[in-house]
Chains A and B, each alone.
Chain A
Amino acid sequence: MQTENHLIRKPSLEKLFNYLIGNGKTIYAPKAKGKLVFFDNVTDFGEVTEDYIVTTNSAKSVVFPRTEKVFSYKKSKESTEIIDAADNTYPDVVLWGSRPCDAAAFIPLNNTFNEDYPDIIFNKRSQKVLVLSFSCSYSDDYCFCTSVNGGPGNTTGSDILFTRLSTGDYLAEVITEKGKLLVTENNSLFEPKPEESKEQNLALIKAYFNQEEIQTKLQNLFENPVWDEKSRACLGCGSCAYVCPVCSCFDIQDEAHGHKGTRLRCWDSCGFGLFTLHTSGHNPRETQGARWRQRILHKFLYMPNKTKVAGCVGCGRCSRSCPADINILDTVTSL
């Protein structure tokens, strides 16, 4: 649909939030805890913070929770009952305060979960998510969205994108039908579009590299000392993958308790040594360097080769959260 622009005043934002709560929506929004800001379940507008560049955790868990029930079963002497999670009704979720990078991440996520087999649970959850993003008015040294075809005011993946104007009010760009429906339902809160331009209110984020160039370069870099060099300090934890809005590797776990049990889909990470360990004891990715290479190649070569969209949105979360300060931008720009 054609993007529609409106003005929404600051106090009206709270009214919009309360309207959503009143309609029984589950809202995930940035909430401060100590020095960190997390996407968390929020019921009171007062809990929502505006003071963040990006949240520590990503928003992917609204469509790809860290532990997802796939099915459960109950056995009795007579029969076995199976409850398929694909038959579940999933909650109406509003993602409030996502950044354009968070919203953009839903595109590669969606590609992964619908590549050869449409993942029913993922799709059911996705359909129920309304993405209300806020443009970035400031950034830090870790941000590089502009290098991966994104930007501080990019509308991809959002239903509505709000941009804070110098007056403290917001420009609302309504991008999808879902977003438009919300505007229609709350017509009184939205005013005609403001005069002020959007661009002057956006953060300036340097373009460090060109994603297509990196993609080309990576085709011949499988054997290269850079992988070991850049990952030398890597501790082999999974924090980069777990805070990443695009990483979607998972591990299937069966938890049985007597005559009942559950199959779960749990997050996994290519940074773990166990990730590729074979039963024989052989590990095709034996060192942290090989694992780091996989991570970069997957995001910047394999994914764009397959779907035209890179597996990185430039949010910089992995670098911020890395306990050993391994910086993805640093690796990619050094290629």
Chain B
Amino acid sequence: MKELIQKAASLLETNVVQVVIGYGKGSADRTRAIFSTTAADCEQLIFDSRCIQNLAVYLTKAEIKKMGKPAIVAPLPVLRSILQLAAENQITDDSLVVLGVSPESELIEFESLAAIETYLATKQIAIEEKYQTTIKAIKAMPVSERFAYWVKELEPCFKCYACRAACPLCYCTRCTVENNQPQWISVASHSLGNLEWHIMRAMHLAGRCTDCEACYNACPMGIPIYLLTKSMLQDVSENFGTYGPSLHRDNTLSSFNPDDKESFIR
């Protein structure tokens, strides 16, 4: 931890970066994102298992961009998001300094975004077995029952869009739901509006989602929306092989292979 604080402070002192995005003490036993602009501020930086918010979401936020070049405290899920953002040309080597944090809470310095990719190659995204089991169980339900299950699960959704706001990859300045000519998705949070919203969200993350679970952690109503993206992640790996953010491989849905296989087109 001391290493991280020292590094962050020196980056600010030497004016390599103007802000350090990291974790600090929050309300009660929570942690929260803090934005250090002086070496003294960096003393507040902490890192432990409670630091689950995906800080990469701040890299594309106008309010934070205004603060200058950032350094970002990046545990594994944040590193994956950073790489995906880089793959989508949202950040470059020059636009930030990444202060990686290993699962053992040690500071890892990255020379470049490519170095992050090399590091992540040994840490492939894997859907935890408990989720695999849940997804399998849902898919085993008769189709109508499965539909009823999801309508019920999505029923509490009041469309606060916390899932979207917390997702580092939902950086569009104007979302599909906010387009009203035509109105693609009902603004109302009735069953249809909720269903359409969550289908749209999942589809727009297909092949991009890095399984950080920020959407679920943000949802005030505790809806297991990550099951949709996790299920799609499985579909990507089953249908198109390798999966995960990459600087040299195009996104699943913005690329193709003439030999892609399916079984349902006649």
Contact = CB atoms under 8 A, between A and B. Distances in A.
Interface of A: 33-36, 38, 56-57, 66-67, 140-142, 228, 232-233, 235-239, 241-243, 251, 253, 255, 264, 266-267, 269, 272, 274, 287-289, 319, 321, 323-327, 330
Interface string B153-172: 00010111110111000000
B217 A242 contact: no
Contacts of B193: 67
B27 A142 contact: yes
B123 to A, nearest CB: 25
Given A253-B187, A266-B188, A324-B32, A235 B158 contact: no
B221 interface: yes
B145 interface: no
A129 to B, nearest CB: 20
A142 B27 CA distance: 8
Contact of A243 (B26, B63, B187, B220): B220
A57 B218 CA distance: 14
Contact of B28 (A57, A141, A236): A141
B49 to A, nearest CB: 16
Interface in B170-215: 178, 186-190, 193, 214
A242 B63 CA distance: 23
A253 B221 contact: no
Contacts of A237: 160-162, 164-166, 218
B57 to A, nearest CB: 7
Contacts of A321: 220
A15 B220 CA distance: 33
A269 B64 CA distance: 22
Given A235-B218, A323-B166, A287 B63 contact: yes
27 contacts: A35-B222, A38-B156, A56-B221, A56-B222, A57-B156, A67-B189, A140-B28, A233-B33, A235-B162, A237-B161, A238-B159, A239-B160, A239-B220, A242-B160, A253-B188, A255-B186, A264-B187, A264-B188, A323-B165, A323-B218, A324-B32, A325-B26, A325-B27, A325-B31, A325-B33, A326-B32, A330-B27
B81 interface: no
**Which among A232, A267, A289 has the highest number of chain B CB atoms within 10 Å?**
A232
B63 A289 contact: yes
Given A141-B27, A142-B27, A233 B32 contact: yes
A2 to B, nearest CB: 39
B53 interface: yes
B35 interface: yes
Contact of A235 (B57, B156, B159, B188): B57
B62 interface: yes
A238 to B, nearest CB: 4
Interface string B14-45: 00000000000011101111110000000000
B63 A288 contact: yes
**Which among B63, B64, B217, B220 has the highest number of chain A CB atoms within 10 Å?**
B220
B196 to A, nearest CB: 12
Interface string B47-69: 00000010001100111100000
Given A237-B162, A237-B164, A267-B158, A232 B63 contact: yes
Nearest to B187: A253
What 4 A-B pairs come out closest when comparing CB atoms? A323-B218, A325-B32, A237-B165, A235-B165
Given A319-B27, A325-B30, 4 more contacts: A242-B160, A253-B188, A266-B189, A269-B160
A330 B27 CA distance: 9
A266 B193 CA distance: 11
Contacts of B26: 325, 327
Interface string B117-159: 0000000000000000000000000000000000000001011
Contacts of A140: 28
Nearest to A287: B63
A323 B220 CA distance: 8
A56 B188 contact: no
A255 B187 CA distance: 9
A253 to B, nearest CB: 5
Contact of A323 (B63, B162, B186, B188): B162
B27 A238 contact: no
Contacts of A35: 222
Contact of B158 (A34, A242, A255): A242
Contacts of A235: 57, 61, 162, 165-166, 218
Nearest to A140: B28
Contacts of B164: 237
A223 B159 CA distance: 31
A67 B35 contact: no
Contacts of B178: 274
Contacts of B30: 325
**Which among B33, B160, B187, B189 has the highest number of chain A CB atoms within 10 Å?**
B160
Nearest to A236: B165
Given A324-B53, A325-B27, A57 B221 contact: yes
Contacts of B190: 67
Contacts of A272: 161
